[in-house]
Structure formats: C-alpha cells, structure tokens
Structure 1
Amino acid sequence: MVSTHRSRVRPGRLGVGAAVLGLVAAVFAAGPATAVPDPGDSPTAPQKVTQRDQEQTKRAIEKGEIPGQDEIVHSDNITHLANVPKGALQGTNSDLAFQGKYAFAGNYDGFTVYDVSKPAKPKVVSQVLCPGSQNDISVSGNLLFLSTDSSRSDDSCDSTTQPATEKDSWEGMKVFDITDKRHPEYVAAVETACGSHTHTLVPDGRNVYIYVSSYAPDASFPDCRPPHDGISIVKVPRKAPHKAHLDSFRGLFPDGGFPGDPARPEKIETTGCHDLTAYPKLKLVAGACMGDGILLDASRPDKPEVLDRTRDTENFAFWHSATFNQRGDKIVFTDELGGGGAPTCNEEVGDEKGADGVYELKGKGSDRKLVFKSYYKIPRPQAETENCVAHNGSLIPVEGRDIMVQAWYQGGVSVWDFTDSSSPKEIAYFERGPLSETSLVGGGSWSAYYYNGHIYSNDMAKGFDVLRIDDPRTDPAKRVRLGELNVQTQPEYFG
C-alpha cells in the first residue's frame, strides 16, 4: 500500500519559484534582441468537456477520489522540495538534460539553465529565447542540442512560423556552446527531413552522432515527403561543432512499417520514429516508431542495423519512447494514446491502453528478440478534464532491481518497480489536481527523471519541480553520482 499525503496550495505561491525568478528574470537571447515567443508554440486552448464529465469530476473531488484544483497529493515517501514557475519563456515545458550541478529544461520558446547544486533551492542561471517546438534537449561536454519540429522562416532564433509547403522553410537540429552557462552561444544548425521531433545522442570518441526522429510526411511538403521510413543521422565534431552536418538518412522500415488500421484510427501508421534510446555500453538502441517497436544494433553508430521489430495490434496506439533496464535485458515502451492530449487514465480506457509495455530481450547477438511480459499504468484515477498518458521517464539506479520514475502529464509522477516483469507495481507518486474542473486544459509533467539523488520534473504548465524520494527500495540510488545525464543515452550505472 502506498500511503498518501495531501496539501492545498494557493495559486501563485508554489514553492521558491516566484522569489527566484524575481531576482534572475533576465533573458539571454541566442538570436537578435527582437526575438519574441511564437504564439504558435503556446499550449493549446482549453477544450470544454460535457456537463456529465464536469459533474463527474466535481463528484470525484468532493469524494476525495482525486485531488482538487491547485491541490498537491503525493505518497508519504515523496517530499516536494521546490517549484520554479515559468519565467520569460511561456511556451510549453518539454524535456530535461543534466550536467554537473546544472539542469537544462526545454521549452517550446527556448530553454532554461538551472543551478541545482542545492536541489531544494534551484536557481535560474539563464533563459535562451529560441522558439521552435518542441525543443527536445540534450547535452554533451560543452555542447547543447535542440530539436526544432515546427516549420520556421529560417534557422535563426528570431525566426517566425512559416508554412511547411514553402521550400525555404526550415526545421532540424540546433547546436549551442554552453561553456558559459550564463551566455550559451548558438554555433550551428542542420536541416533534417521532416524536422526533429526528438533526438538521441550516440557518442563516438571525437564525434557525437545525433539520431534524429521525425514523422508525419506530406506530399505537399518539399522537405518532408513520403516515404519517410527511417531516421536522419547528424554528425557533430566535438572540437569543431560549427562543422555539424547531415551524415545520412537511415531507412529502418523497407516494407513501410505498420500500415495502420482503418477500423481503429487511434492506431497510428508508421511513417518514421517518435523517439529512440541508446545504450552505448551495449551498442543497442531501442526505438518507439509510431506503430512499431524496434531494436537496433549500433556497433557502428553511423550505420545502425535493425535486430528485431514488434507490434501490439491490440492495445498500443502510438509507440512513444523506450527505456532499457540496467542489465539491458528489458525494455519499457510507452504508448502515447491520444497524442498526450486526452483523458485516458480512466475506467473507460482501462489499464492496458495508454500504458507502458514491459518487454524482455531473449537470445544473443543478432538473434535477440523482444518478448512482451506485461502492462503498467498508474493505479490512481484521473479526472475527465486531465490529459493523462504514459510519457517520459528514467531508471532509478538501484543495483539488482528495476525501478523507474515516469511522467504521466496530469497523472503526475509515478515511481514503479518492474523487477518482476510480469507484475510491475507503483511504489511512490506525486501529482497535482486538474488545471480546470470544467475544461480539458493541457498540462502536467512532460518528463520526470532521477539525477544524483533527486527527481526532477518539467511540468508543461506549472514549471520545474524538485522531488525527493525516501524509501528503502530506492535509497541506495542516492550513492550513485553522474557527471552528465541524457536519459535517451542511458549510462551504465554499475560496472
């Protein structure tokens, strides 16, 4: 049993954030000072829900089945240490990366650098204004990488939205020098087919290879036409990042991949990949590619080869992301049913759709196969006004156990144990009540990752949260220290 703690939080008084941003609200724009946040990259407008759903949400709050608006609920083994609300960047918060005492947080309008040397008192170091959803983010040494997946007028940080039907529109990867965390410097841009929805770093000595995931080609888009059956690979020389360039486009689905199901429109056709996770030590990459889950051999980072593919024709709608366990003999795939914009954590949808799928790797070498074992979905009901679905998470490094922390949008943050592949269980959680009791408003935790003793969550609407978990099952992880963490490039925590 996971016991619960509840606390009512007043709007506008969420932890230390207001004081912090009042002191350091200056924006260090990577482009010209005229750059402004792009209204096209703002969260979607609220959607009214039916009177029935409004009444159902109200009853659930009155009965204490779900937290109320502006209420925080968490298990007794979780402590909410801090929240930093959004500052100058008012777009949707997205992914996270870490290096030393810094956390780097993506936002549709750019990115923020936080000093987390004192996790209970995170400080904003700089905010870089560079619109271009979804600004998926990663770091390696003195370099930072951003994904641009919205059609822009050019590759600068003061670009504006421009139709993808225009040949000179731009989407792709941006590279920054972060030697000076207070003044990141924009040094390179590489255009890629269909842009870059997400990206994954695959280090290779003097170079960093970037596997760029993108999808949804359209015959009317000059730079994004079907078939789009693979990933772009960008090569960045560490000592000369300004020479970053497109190395190749690697096809992964010569047969076109999953064709979709006309009878079930929620099941998405494979037209590229949504996200990849590399495990460099094992030279493996797991891919979540819309209608397919894949396993790649990355012995040659410039030429990954498909080892196995799998599908879930019954429950998975959109293969979204992947996480290896420490031994590399399991992979957790997520299903982003409804694209993250729907209330799918309810009784009507059930506990197998919009969930995680736990797979084991069987066999050796080129004969390795993905074998399904079970589903995991948060056991706590959510309101009809809350978008909720499996999203980004990371391992909590405990030797001999498989424990993961994960974001579920407005379902909050879940810590769960999948050591027993057939019977995963939640052991801790943190969540807020719905952003609205009358409308479906997009929000919640986009990414929730464990780094050097704490959990960091980037909430799409509420800002940057810091949590601490105190539990005998996870306490050994507090002794593990990393110098850098990109969750989609998994480290080997134990030799």
Structure 2
Amino acid sequence: MTSSPRSPWALLSASILSLLFLSACSDSPVPLPFPIIVDAGSDSGADEDSGTDDDSGTDDAGTDVDAGSGDSGTSDAGPEPWDGGYTVLEERGNWIDRGAYAPCAFDSTGDPATVSCADLSRYDLSQCSPEALAQVEPHGIYLTDLRMERRLADGGTRITPSFTSFQLRSDGATDTLAGAPLLQRQTDGGTFFIVGGAPITSTETALAGCQVPSPGVITGCFTRCSGGRFGGSGTFEAHRVAVRAGEAESSGGLQLFSESPVALGEPADVYVAKEHAYVVSFARFGLDGGLTVFDVSDRQHPIFKASISLPGDNYWNGVWARGNALYIASLSSGLLVYDITQPGAPEFVRSFAAGPEGVHTVLVDGNRLYAMSLNSSTLVFDVSEPLSPVLLQSIALPETLSSGGPHDVLPYEGRLYVSNGFGGLSILDATDLEDVRHQGQFVHGNRAYAHHSAVGTFAGRTIAFEGGETNGAHLRVLDVTDPAHILKIGEFRLRPVTSIHNFILQGTRLYVAWYQEGLRVLDVSNPTQPRQVAHYNTFRESDPDRTDNLYEGAFGVRVPGDGYVYVVDSARGLLILNEL
C-alpha cells in the first residue's frame, strides 16, 4: 500500500498548533464490547488536575524483566502486582476545562474595530492581587493555557482552548511572546501586562495578570485582536516552566554522571552502540544540524570524536544502529547509512530517498528497519546485511484512516503500532509484508496528535503506552489485546502546558523524555496506575539559547541496558544518568 506525500514538516508543525484553537468537547464513554474484569484499583492517573503523585523514592513494586528485542517491546511482566483488571476510562483529549482561571474580565463594548486589546483600562482587575503580582520576578519562561469564552446568538457560551508562551528578560535582551518581540510590557508596581504580536497573521495577544495562585504560576485575563479588530477574550494560566513548587532537581536516586554540549544545531535523538553515543540534531539559530559522536566508554568523561553535517541537509531527527551500520533519519536525504566499523569515525555509505517528506524517525527490529516519512508512508528494509539495506515494502494507511501520516512505529509480536498523527494510534498486522492489514485504531479526544508509543505484555494482556505532542500531551495506557476494540485503562499527566515526547519501556519502568519536565521515570507494573518513582529536571532558564518555544528540553532518551540512561536536551546536549 502506498500514498503520496502531502506537506513538509514545517506545515505539519503549523497544523499541530492550529489544533489549539479548536473548540473543546467531551467524547462519549467508550462502549464496552465485552464484560470487564473488576477494577484492580483506583484510577489515580485520571485526575483532572495537572499534578501527579509525588516521587516515592522507593524501589519498583514489581520485578524488572528483560526488555526483549531492543526498544521494540517488553516481555511479560508477570501477574504481580496487577491481576489484569481495569475500568475503562473516558478519552477527554489533552485539554480539560477547569473553569475560568481568574476573577477578571475585559470590557469589549463598542465597535470591534475600535476596541484595543492593548488598552489596559478596559480590563476589570478589581478582584485581583497587585501585592502578589509585585513579587513576581521580572524574568522567566512561561507556557500558557488560554481559555477563550465567546457568547453565542442563542445565549450560550462557547469555550475554546488555545495556547501561547512568553519569555521575560531582566538582562536587557528581547522579551518575546510566541517567539516574537513584545510590543508592550508593564511588569512593576503590582501590574502585570504584556502585549505581543504575530507579524505574519497580524494577530495581537494581550495578557493582564490577576493572581499568583502558587509559585511560578500567574493567572489573569487575555484578549486577541486580529487585523486591528477585537477577536475575543478569556482567562489564562501561565506556568514558569523552570519553577516546580516543592520539587528538587532530581529524586528517586537519579544522578547526573556527565553533560556534553552539542555544537551542531538542536539535539533531537541519541543511540548508543559500540561504547559510543550518536547524537543527531536539526538546524537552529543559524547552525546546521547533523551528527555528533562521543566515546562514552567512561560515562563520567565522554570524549568528543566527530561531527558531521552535509551541505543543504540540516534536519536529522532520528538515529539507530545495527552491527557496523548507523541509520539516520533525514528530512532532506531520506534514510542515511553510515559505516561505524570505526565507531568514532563514521563513513558515509549511501542514502535512500523518501520523497519530499524525507525520513523523520527510524527503528530497527531484528532484520527489519522501519523508516517513517511524515504525511506519507513507512518504508520497510531488510537489514540482514546491515550496510546494504534492501527495500521490501512501503506501507501506508488507507486514505480514510490516515491523518498526518506515520510519525513513529513500534513493531511488537507481528503487529505495527503506528503513531498516525491526527489519526491516532493505528495497529497493523505486518507479519506478511505483501498483505499488511489494518486491525484497529484509537483516536484521541479532539483529534490530538499521536506521536510515540511503547508496547509490552502485562498479566497476559497486550498494553500500549501512547503519547501525543503539543501542550497538555500526556501518557495514555491502552489495552490493545483486541486491536478491534482498543480500550483506555490508564493515564498520567504532568503540568497542562507541557508536552510529553519520547519514551522507552524497560520491564516495568517507563523512561520518559518530557520536554520542559525533563526525564521522568514511571513504575508501570500496574499499567492502570502509572506512578512516578524518579525524575531529573534538565530544563534551566540559564542554559544558552533557551526560548519560549513549547518544544524545548528533553527530546530523546535511550536505555540500552548498560546501566545508564542517555538523554538529549535541546540546549544542554547529551546527559548521562544512572539506570534505576
């Protein structure tokens, strides 16, 4: 099965952000196709608040088992302590309406063409706390939930979630909102008011602070104007992402062994083979992306060995190795193959084109290599001879199911678990590449973006840990034993403004790279109740080139079974920690 590529990654990113302006709604509960076993416990991961249980700092309640074949799955974790019972959970999407964020309002009376979002006198802040706002530090990076309210002709109200971000500087550098310079800033004397604009769309956003409900959190009212006309208003909740009330830099025994900066662009992924770490990156701040190689035989003192960047090829997002071959996902060139017979000095072998989408992610399972092309298809190669891949098949979902194309795939026990963009998680029977069959699909509430997954067997059931991307994206736990009837049985959320990214399942531990939340380690021995047991915060405002971009912080994580965890952070580079 094949399909034609439709748009480059830049357009996909814009599509992801456009979802943030869609109206929120609740899906109906999932119908039950068969009787469900009595619940094994409470659904602790499904609370509507943004927090989670504190780190326990204790050992895993279960017994870790071998992770099976590489990163592609985990063998049965056994019947203890989970007996296979669960309650089906409603899928509500990434954003949950928690009501108005602050007791303030904007007076939009008058002709929309004369109502200025930047007019502070129109904001009713009489119930606000200038004393608390006066204590807010004059700097910081904030990710911000916007809750817009629109009155309907029938007298009702439409609630529309949206998102923005801002960075305030106290060192004379440029303040920004959504990456663009602020147009106005007043953040002293108990007033918090900022206005930013998007030049391309002529959209203006203003935030008027009202309260400080907890350290690092500001709530208030916001307005949107477009083309000089008032567009709407509502309330906001802004989180200073480097401030985590009551949370230390690390917990649960995680320790940082070393930190190695990457000079090429923005680090995105890492793979460890032959006592070397291979870090790929994409272009940023005028720096080309490429490959950076470290000798990590001494984990406390990695040694830089090489950096490689190809002219006009600046977006390398995924990396894997098998034998003497290193495989790199390139937006421009498709699949790149390097010879790492000399591990510190990779030599280019060849590339496999994959159309205008290139290759975004890559994974090897046994003798098969899977190369995912966004908005297009999954290329399957035979790599029984690692340096000489042979294309076997191009797999694409039927047009009626595809919506964003394969961002990532996870092979497990003959099935392919496809993170199918806005189409959710799709499951394919790929035992016969000449007859690939679609078996089932799980679509997120509000059609949120499906990004990454990990699959294993727990108490005899096949369980998929599934994550999205964009603000509020979090971990979903799905029973996929019967792909035709996928059921959500667990959930784990962090702050509602951050996004989960990539993760690795090792036995009953899930190691998660969670952008600004850093590395999070979850005990999933009871999949219905993922429980955080350790963390390491990688995100610091003081790191060079930090911005208010949603997609910053911990990008990738590998747990190769050598006793260490390898994390790539967008500003700090390669971090090596101990495996729990």
Please report the TM-score for the alignment, with normalisation by the length of structure 1: 0.62
Match of 1:238 among 355, 370, 385: 385
Write the distance in 2 (CA, Å) between the matches of 1:439 and 1:191. 33
Work out the percentage of aligned pairs sharing the same amino acid.
Answer: 20
Q: How do residues 468-483 of structure 1 correspond to structure 2 at under 5 angstroms? A: 468-469=578-579, 474=580
- CA separation of 1:237/1:83 partners in 2, compared to 1, >3 Å: closer, same or farther? same
Is residue 428–residue 438 contact of structure 2 (8 Å, CA) maintained in 1? Answer: yes
Match of 2:416 among 262, 274, 285: 285
Q: 1:212 to 1:304 in 2, by over 3 A?
A: farther
Q: Name the counterpart of 2:527.
A: 421
Cα distance in 1 for partners of 2:393, 2:539 equals 45
The alpha-carbon deviation at position 467 of structure 1 amounts to: 1.4
Q: Could you tell me whether the CA contact under 8 Å between 2:441 and 2:484 is conserved in 1?
A: no
**Residues 253 and 122 (structure 1), Cα distance of their counterparts in 2 relative to 1, 3 Å cut:** same
Deviations 1:451-471 (A, max 9, x none): 3211110011111111125xx
Say if 2:361 is the partner of 1:198.
yes
Structure 1 Cα separation of the partners of residues 208 and 254 of structure 2: 30
Distance 1:414 1:47, change over 3 A: farther
**AA aligned opposite 2:417:** A
Within 1, Cα distance between the matches of 2:477 and 2:337? Answer: 34
Secondary structure in 1 aligned to 2:489?
A: strand
Retained in 1: the 8 A contact 2:242–2:541?
no
Deviation at 1:57, TM superposition (A): 9.5
- The correspondence for 1:333, drawn from 466, 480, 484, is 466
- For 2:315, which of 112, 122, 133 is the aligned residue? 133
Alpha-carbon distance between aligned partners in 1 of 2:541 and 2:211, rounded to the nearest angstrom: 15
- Which residue does the alignment assign to 2:337? 175
Task: Tell me the equivalent position of 2:90.
Answer: none
Q: 2:527 matched to 1:408?
A: no
In the TM superposition, residue 246 of structure 1 has moved relative to its aligned partner by 4.1
Distance 2:337 2:276 in 1: 18
1:147 and 2:323 correspond? no
Identify which of 303, 313, 327 aligns with 2:445. 313
Deviation at 1:134, TM superposition (A): 3.0
- Distance between the aligned counterparts of 1:425 and 1:128, measured in 2? 40
Q: Tell whether the 8 Å contact from 2:554 to 2:569 is kept in structure 1 after alignment.
A: yes
Distance 1:114 1:239, change over 3 A: closer
1:111/1:59 CA distance change after superposition, 3 Å? same
Runs (5+) with no aligned partner, structure 1: 5-43, 151-170, 217-227, 258-269, 338-343, 345-352, 475-495
Unaligned runs of 5+ in 2: 1-53, 58-176, 183-192, 195-206, 219-238, 283-288
Change in Cα spacing, 1:57 to 1:197, as seen in structure 2 (3 Å) is farther
1:275 to 402, 408, 414: 408
Q: Which residue of 1 is the match for residue 297 of structure 2?
A: 117
Q: CA deviation at 1:173?
A: 0.9
Aligned to 1:445: 554
Q: Which amino acid aligns with 2:266?
A: T
The equivalent residue for 1:489 is none
When residues 448 and 57 of structure 1 are mapped into structure 2, their CA distance, relative to the original with a 3 A threshold, is farther
User: Aligned partners of 2:404 and 2:240: how far apart in 1?
Assistant: 40
Query: Structure 2: which amino acid aligns with 1:421?
Result: P
Q: 1:53, 1:335 → 2: CA distance?
A: 30
With over 3 angstroms needed to count, the CA separation of the structure-2 counterparts of 1:48 and 1:58, relative to structure 1, is farther
**Could you tell me how far apart the structure 2 residues matched to 1:323 and 1:81 are?**
26
* Closer/same/farther in 2, CA of residues 66 and 390 from structure 1, 3 Å limit: closer
Report the TM-score when normalising by structure 2: 0.54
In the alignment, is the contact (CA less than 8 A) between 1:361 and 1:371 conserved in 2?
yes
- 8 Å contact 1:362–1:371 — kept in the other structure? no
State the partner residue of 1:463.
Answer: 573
- Kept in 2: contact 1:136–1:199 (CA 8 A): yes
| 1:185-226 CA-partner distances (Å, limit 9, x unpaired) | 11111111321111222433xxxx33222234xxxxxxxxxx
Contact 1:287-1:294 within 8 A present in 2 as well: yes
- Indicate the residue corresponding to 2:255 in structure 1: 79
What RMSD in Å do the two structures reach over aligned CA positions? 3.5
**Structure 1 residues 173 and 62 mapped into 2: Cα distance closer, same or farther (>3 Å)?**
closer
1:46-85 deviation digits (Å, cap 9, x = unpaired): 445773599989983599996469x981115221221111
Deviations 1:412-465 (A, max 9, x none): 110012222222111111114453799514521101222321111001111111
Whether 1:373 aligns to 2:478 is no
CA distances 1:280-317 after superposition (whole Å, capped 9, x unpaired): xx223211001221122232356543222221234x51
Please name the residue that 1:96 is paired with.
Answer: 270
Change (3 A) 1:240 1:136: closer
Residue type of the partner of 1:253? Answer: P
Partner of 2:215: 60
User: How many angstroms does 1:141 deviate by?
Assistant: 0.5
Q: Hey, what's the Cα distance between the residues in 2 that align with 1:235 and 1:188?
A: 15
Work out whether residues 269 and 556 of structure 2, in 8 Å CA contact, stay in contact via their aligned partners in 1.
yes
Which residue matches 1:359? 478
Aligned residues: 348
Contact 2:476 2:492 in 1 (8 A): yes
- Alpha-carbon spacing, 1:304–1:186, altered in 2? closer, same or farther (3 Å): farther
Q: Deviations over 1:352-405 (max 9, x none)?
A: x41111112224xxx664321122123xx48x7xxx3111111233xxxx2201
CA distance in 2 between partners of 1:93 and 1:413 (Å): 15
Question: Structure 2 vs 1, CA of residues 393 and 57 (structure 1 numbering), >3 Å: closer, same or farther?
Answer: farther
User: 2: CA distance between counterparts of 1:184 and 1:235?
Assistant: 21
- In 2: Cα distance, 1:203 partner to 1:464 partner: 27
- Name the CA shift for 1:182/1:423 in 2 (closer, same or farther; >3 Å): closer
Amino acid at match of 2:267: N
Q: Distance in 1 between matches of 2:351 and 2:577?
A: 35
Larger RCO (CA under 8 A, 6+ residues apart)? 2
Distance 1:333 1:369 in 2: 16
Structure label with greater radius of gyration: 2
Q: CA 1:48/1:439 → structure 2, altered by over 3 Å: closer, same or farther?
A: farther
